[in-house]
Chain A
Amino acid sequence: MKALHNGQIAWVRRACFVLCLVPLGRLVWLGARGGLGANPIEAITHSTGWWTLAFLMLTLAVTPLRRLTGMNWLLRLRRMLGLFAFFHAALHFATYVWLDQFFDWTAIAKDIVKRPFITVGFAAFVLLVPLAATSSNAMVRRLGAVRWQLLHRLVYPIAILGVTHFWWLVKKDLTEPVLFACVLVLLLGARLVWRARTVRAVARVPAASVR
């Protein structure tokens, strides 16, 4: 595919930004007209949680898609997608703390310690914070590319924790958690396969030619 020039990329990013606001916009719109059903707090919790996972998957899809299609400009969307994942995670967490538990810190602390699905969900959120905090260009420069990349590999365990959180909380119908898990296995699996190939390719090169 032909490379996009900067002007086109700017447009794609604007469009992507607007699209990423649609889930929340829908939630606000439904909420304002009482369209969230009998249990709006549950609806908000589920929606923000679902979209956190969806944005995490989209973020993780950038690299494989870029490799498969050669559309390098996709990389320019990744930070935005990652920040939207964090944004929805923060909304999800705020919904839990405020709307669901109403700042009952004792109950919240108990939940985090005693309820495995909350433990892993909370862990995933905590781990997301440093990634969001170091997402600016300035922070990349300050940390240096190598350390920055190492830190941002945290997104893998975060995604695993996030899907586990979903898996462990559903009462019985595992359809959606299983779907997320399949997507995640695919996205992480692709990386492992490529990595293994690279290692093998390097091994095949005569030692003398390895710089």
Chain B
Amino acid sequence: MLIRRPPDIAPSEITPPDLYRRRRAFLRSAGLIAAAVGTGVVLPASRVRAAAQKLPNTRSGTFSTTEDRTPYEDVTTYNNFYEFGTDKDEPAQNARSLKTRPWTVAIEGEVRKARTIGIEELLRLAPLEERVYRLRCVEGWSMVVPWVGYSLRELIRRVEPTGNAKYVEFVTVADRRQMPGLAYPVLEWPYAEGLRLDEAMHPLSLMCVGLYGEVLPNQNGAPVRVVIPWKYGFKSGKSIVKIRFTQTQPRTAWNRAQPREYGFYSNVNPEVDHPRWSQAKERRIGEFRKRPTLMFNGYAEQVASLYAGMDLKKNF
């Protein structure tokens, strides 16, 4: 059997998912995507997804909402990922070119165990859970997405932040050859987002590698992203290549672009309008009437204490 295998692979690493992945990469390189999908996944023939690879051993996690999930089709064709174009349908069209293997994430800054972690290790770092979260975009629409991943704190604990670490910065890949949107200075590239360390350590903050039980499609931030469900969507960095722990508040993409409109915190808050539009309501994708937006996107019970005593109008 033809399997391309790096020479330095340890026998212990030849686990079924890895085997599958490499075999799939080989098949894809041979232009046999359809065949690859057929080997492992049963799909309706009408909708063959190039990235439809099931994630193994995913258990259903805590914190999941029971609300109706936004259809896979909508979750994967209506995206803001400016590196692939500013129209919502452009990421789905243009992100196919993103190579997600090999992939590493550099852990830097105020940590005792600064290092570069390969995606295979990241996938195995902690048991994968399904978390069905609400996603509220700053533009006034929302979705319900069954993400797959584990709490970001699992990673953070392992790299041991020093006492100086107060913030975490997430940097998105910026490769002009693969990302046509980078040719336009819409935002400062690379895209960088950040959280306070205690926000990143909150169990809701998700290190995400999949959705709908499958590997994350490129347009949704493959191979690894974060999901911070109580903040507007742009706070959740996609296709992450660097996680940096800092003492001072990192500069963040949308805040740099328009400081008056996008603050560092950007918590979902129906009482604090965007300077140009109201945030009181939202349109759930697939619904006709708008629904009221909930404080902290409905996660107030879990996260409100992070902001006790803070003026949320000032710290928008």
Interface residues of A (CB under 8 A from B): 37-39, 41-42, 99-102, 107, 110-111, 114-117, 168-169, 171-173, 175
Contacting chain A: which of B17-25, B218-226, B282-290, B303-311?
Answer: B282-290
Contact string, B130-152, partner A, CB cutoff 8 A, digits 1/0? 00000000010100000000000
Contact A168 B276 (CB under 8 A): yes
Across the interface, which residues of B come within 8 angstroms of A114, CB to CB? 273, 278
Cβ-closest chain A residue relative to B187? A172
| Number of A-B contacts defined by CB within 8 Å | 55
Contact A116 B78 (CB under 8 A): no
Q: Are B78 and A172 in contact (CB under 8 A)?
A: no
B78 touches A173 (CB 8 A): no
Within 8 A of A (CB), among B83-102: 86, 88-89
A37 touches B77 (CB 8 A): yes
Chain A facing B: main interface SS: helix
Contacts of B82 in A (CB 8 A): 172-173
Interface residues on B, range: 20 to 34
Q: Is the CB of A173 within 8 A of B77?
A: no
| Min distance, Cβ B35 to any Cβ of chain A, angstroms | 29
Taking beta carbons and an 8 Å cutoff, which residues of B are in contact with A?
70, 73-74, 77-78, 82, 86, 88-89, 139, 141, 184, 186-187, 257-258, 273, 276-278, 280-281, 283, 285-286, 288-290
Q: Please indicate the chain A residues that have their CB under 8 angstroms from the CB of B73 in the complex.
A: 38
Given the known interface contacts A102-B289, A116-B276, the answer about A39 and B77 at a Cβ–Cβ threshold of 8 Å is no
Q: A117-B276, A168-B276, A173-B184 are in contact. Are A41 and B283 (CB under 8 A)?
A: yes
Are B277 and A37 in contact (CB-based, < 8 A)? Answer: no
Residues of B within 8 Å of A41, CB to CB, are: 283, 288
Q: Does the CB pair B74–A172 fall under 8 Å?
A: no
